[in-house]
Amino acid sequence: MCGIVGYIGKRQAKDLLIEGLHRLEYRGYDSAGVALVGGNKLKRVRALGKVGELEKKTEGMTLEATLGIAHTRWATHGKPSEKNAHPHADCAGAISIVHNGIIENYTELKDELTKKGHRFSSETDTEVVAHLIEEHTKKSKDIEEAFARALKDLRGTYGIAMVAVAEPERLYVARMGSPLLIGVGKDEYFVASDVSAILAHTKKVVYLEDGERAVITRDGYVVRSGQAVQKKTVSDIEWSEKEAKRGGYPHFMLKEIFDQPESFADALRGRLLPDEGSARLGGLRAVAKRLEGIRRIVIVSCGTSYHAGLVGEYMLEEYAGIPVEVEYASEFRYRKPLLDKYTAVLALSQSGETADTLAAIREAKNKGALALGIVNVVGSTIARETDAGVYNHAGPEVSVASTKAFTSQLAVLSLLTLYLGRKRGMSLVTGQRIARELLKLPRLMERIFEQSGTIKKLAKKYANRKNYLYLGRKYNFPIAFEGALKVKEIAYVSAQGYPTGEMKHGPIALIDREALALFIMPVDSVYEKSVSGLEEIKARGGTVLAITTEGNTALEKKADAVIYIPKTLEMLTPILSVIPLQLFAYHMSVALGYEVDRPRNLAKSVTVE
């Protein structure tokens, strides 16, 4: 998730663009850049770091330009650096583009273009687009046609803005999967990834839909889908700038919960191979040989990432047949773990900066183990220090309570299970079944959102209980831990997660009229066991909120309240069952009047021991 801004009008573009980037910085902040067209020149300036660095670099720039594009980056392909920062250009520097999204087939396109003599200067997927347009201009000098042809060659997601030195009166944009809009001003037009970048100048916007592209001049814009001109509506934005940043949601946490269908799909994008029932993980290519000889995996992580590791343990053992241990990194670093070169130590970390997890990885490397990472922040320390790894591609997670990073960690763990499983005896049929189900999950997640209102009522109803006992079995016992952590983090209540089977060995003593038991019990291979656990709680006068599979209405007779999740494979149920618990915690925190996104005593990245 990056931020794009563009401007064409009568005013000097530079400051308008940089001001817009500042407002989009929550979308990505590892590098930034601007390209300005004026006086038959195209000037590109890029800088590593936050927008402020770019601002410093462009101070005193004298180029008179009323046309320009700009970008603030959240790296996915190619670490944060000046040469990987956008805008990217073609060989001649005559075309400049900024991009938000992932070009899935960029390696193939890059190889073809290199064979045709194009020289690439970055590691990004995006730069390919500039060279592709250049290549098409060789056939027809018409840049608009070259732009349209290039778009046809792309697979993946994009919001793209493009300028060309030869056309100082035109701004080109296109959308497929990543948000992009046109801001309609007085004798001027803006383009932006979201309204927060341009609200200070206009509240009139035209939303581009997937497959649409537009040419914007100082007199107007023409939107096409294919060759057909689209009649577009101009919408009036009511939001304040703060609201706009949160996409109209009251808190980043709720926005990030509702972003999960997209972030989950992005984690799979360009990696899942449904027909082969497998996965392609480019980030592991360098250690592919060594990975084949691995005899055990030790997952090290903290907090929510630890809970993702617990789900990964079930997946990898059941479907890839590899022994897995999951360790709290803060303990692992002081234990004397028995590691050797046949052990892979896998760090899970959203931020990639968590001190305990970093120390655990360093310990693993000292002991000759293969150090791997599943990390969300590109170029972060854990990403740099591991031997190889996979990025989540979940985009920046602003709220301290992790939500979309968790489900995208489970997406990557599912891909790793397919990748290793298919090399270790998993059948094509099993692989294809898992792959097909993974592709359905974003839509299934949206079905759960329809119950947000019900969950809000339940969270309000049960917000003042003294004890919260989260219970789950097999793939969902880690979700009991995660659910309990969420309400602890943002609602400050006493909550414990337990494997349901462990309840009668002590925790059931907490059950009284002041307690709430939350059962995560989809209809799976251990469902019946969960039902008896539920009845034991009811027998002691406990209150039960159950999460189960759609259609299992029989449970309404046993539990005090039921929330439903769509049916999917047992190994994938945690990816759905966690969402009602995220919403429950969110609505409880709001009901109790707490600051949801910045909970007390916590930090988004714990970089101290």
Rounded Cα–Cα distance for residues 185 and 187 (Å):
6
- We find the least distance from the C-beta atom of residue 385 to ligand AGP, in angstroms, to be 13
Return the residue matching tokens 């980056």: 73
- We find the least distance from the C-beta atom of residue 302 to ligand AGP, in angstroms, to be 4
The DSSP annotation for 262-275 comes to HHHHHHHTTTEETT
Cβ nearer to ligand AGP, comparing 305 with 386? 305
Cβ nearer to ligand AGP, comparing 524 with 597? 597
Helix axes 452-461, 573-591, angle to 10 degrees: 50
Indicate the SS3 state at residue 93: coil
DSSP state, residue 177: B
* Residues counted in the chain: 609
- We find the least distance from the C-beta atom of residue 471 to ligand AGP, in angstroms, to be 20
Residue 39 backbone zone (phi > 0: left; psi -120 to 50: alpha; other: beta): left
- We find the least distance from the C-beta atom of residue 251 to ligand AGP, in angstroms, to be 14
* 214: Cα separation from own chain's centroid: 27
Query: Residue 300: beta bridge partners?
Result: 327, 347
**What are the residues whose beta carbons fall under 8 Å from the beta carbon of 341, sequence distance 6 or more?**
368, 369, 370
The residue sitting closest to ligand AGP, measured at its beta carbon, is 303
- We find the least distance from the C-beta atom of residue 303 to ligand AGP, in angstroms, to be 2
H helix runs in 327-403, sequence order: 329-332, 355-366, 381-385
Cβ nearer to ligand AGP, comparing 253 with 284? 253
Indicate the SS3 state at residue 501: helix
- We find the least distance from the C-beta atom of residue 299 to ligand AGP, in angstroms, to be 12
Cβ nearer to ligand AGP, comparing 294 with 360? 360
Work out the number of other CB atoms within 10 angstroms of the CB of residue 308.
Answer: 31
- We find the least distance from the C-beta atom of residue 343 to ligand AGP, in angstroms, to be 21
Cβ nearer to ligand AGP, comparing 413 with 503? 413
Cβ nearer to ligand AGP, comparing 249 with 328? 328
Q: How far apart, in Å, do the first and last CA atoms of the chain sit?
A: 30
Q: What CA–CA distances, in Å, run from 204 to 12, 42, 200, 340, 394?
A: 21, 29, 11, 61, 30
Of the residues 2, 245, 474, 488, which is catalytic?
2
Cβ nearer to ligand AGP, comparing 30 with 489? 489
Cβ nearer to ligand AGP, comparing 305 with 549? 305
Cβ nearer to ligand AGP, comparing 124 with 376? 376
Q: Which two tokens stand for residue 172?
A: 């080109």
The DSSP annotation for 525-584 comes to TTHHHHHHHHHHHHHTT-EEEEEEETT-GGGGGTSSEEEEE----GGGHHHHHHHHHHHH
Contact 268, 415 (CB under 8 A): yes
- We find the least distance from the C-beta atom of residue 587 to ligand AGP, in angstroms, to be 16
Cβ nearer to ligand AGP, comparing 148 with 358? 358
> Does residue 2 have an active-site annotation?
yes
- We find the least distance from the C-beta atom of residue 429 to ligand AGP, in angstroms, to be 34
Work out the number of other CB atoms within 10 angstroms of the CB of residue 457.
Answer: 12
Rounded Cα–Cα distance for residues 490 and 483 (Å):
11
Cβ nearer to ligand AGP, comparing 302 with 493? 302
Indicate the SS3 state at residue 89: strand
Query: Residue 590: beta bridge partners?
Result: none
- We find the least distance from the C-beta atom of residue 528 to ligand AGP, in angstroms, to be 32
Residue 415 backbone zone (phi > 0: left; psi -120 to 50: alpha; other: beta): alpha
Q: Which of 19, 28, 29, 160 is nearest to 88 (CA)?
A: 160
Rounded Cα–Cα distance for residues 120 and 88 (Å):
10
* 195: Cα separation from own chain's centroid: 20
- We find the least distance from the C-beta atom of residue 250 to ligand AGP, in angstroms, to be 19
> Does residue 302 have an active-site annotation?
no
Rounded Cα–Cα distance for residues 183 and 236 (Å):
10
Contact 538, 557 (CB under 8 A): no
DSSP state, residue 451: T
Q: For the CA atoms of 574, 579, 585, 587, what is the dihedral angle to 10 degrees?
A: -160
Strands 88-89 and 158-164: unpaired
Rounded Cα–Cα distance for residues 277 and 344 (Å):
23
Residues in touch with ligand AGP (CB under 6 A):
302-305, 349-351, 354, 357, 400-402, 489, 605-606
- Active-site positions read 2, 604
